[in-house]
Amino acid sequence: MQSANNVMVLYTGGTIGMQASANGLAPASGFEARMREQLADAHVPTWRFQEMAPLIDSANMTPAYWQRLRTAVIDALDAGCDAVLILHGTDTLAYSAAAMSFQLLGLPVPLVFTGSMLPAGVPDSDAWENVSGALAALGAGLAPGVHLHFHGALLAPTACAKIRSFGRNPFAALKRQGGVARVASLPTALDYRQPKTLASVGVLPLVPGIGAAQLDGLIDSGIHGLILECFGSGTGPSDNPEFLASLQRAQDKGIAVVAITQCHEGGVELDIYEAGSRLRGVGVLSGGGMTREAAFGKLNALLGAGLDHAQVRRLVEANLCGELG
């Protein structure tokens, strides 16, 4: 545990700092002054502030923005900060927190994500309790790496999701598990200081009657990785030869295809049912207990690190930061 004394606050926008506009709530500058006024007498670590550009509604978050955040975190460390707090909109906060866990593997200081469901300053807003709570948690001491702090609770970012669109407690840890979580040594390319290129990762939820055409559309769109949201413990339309042939084509093209479960609890174990083992037979990898958010962030990081196809396949099924359950 490391007690923070000099925190960098990175403000990305989101509901927490939004103000009314002609078209509804929109991201707004000027949050640092409001934050300094509100926390003037709070017992929190010393902090400095950086406004990211552009400020965004988190619905507009992208993998390219994650790379800017990675650079900003490294710059903060180089400037002498011993912790980072990222203020972020809640809609994609779990995606960003999971993604940054993989973008910042080996980070030697704690980093916390938080935000709010209501803008700072409106009645019953949760903004200041979340900001002060996150700063206080950093001051009390947290392990190096990425954390999510919301409504007084710390959550592991590779094992949680936003499950409610209302209230003060929108995030929950998911009871995900499955498969064997092998541990692997990290290639140098995955170290937090190593630059990453942008990767294109698709997501395809399976539904009854899904055919090869939808899968082919994704495969031919130029993606480098695909998350297959399967039924149950990792089953799909295994009696559809065209669908299986498309998955084999993805494997032949070097596209990493990872199976995760659509269920809220449990995870993927591809060898339990024939309908799962046939997916394994055409190159589909087991995502174990990974959430969609964790699988998406992990594939973006692995593929963006310039690893070869064999390394990517090996590390998908290895536990890098608690994502496999």
By C-alpha distance, which of 153, 144, 195 is closest to 172? Answer: 153
CB half-sphere exposure, 284, CA atoms < 13 A: 32
Query: What CA–CA distances, in Å, run from 143 to 98, 153, 301?
Result: 16, 15, 22
Contact predicate 86/113, CB 8 Å: yes
Catalytic annotation, residues: 15, 90
Residue with tokens 């506009």: 21
Contact 315, 299 (CB under 8 A): no
CB 51 within 8 A of CB 127: no
The pair of structure tokens assigned to 123 is 């009645």
Element housing 24 (H / E): strand 24-26
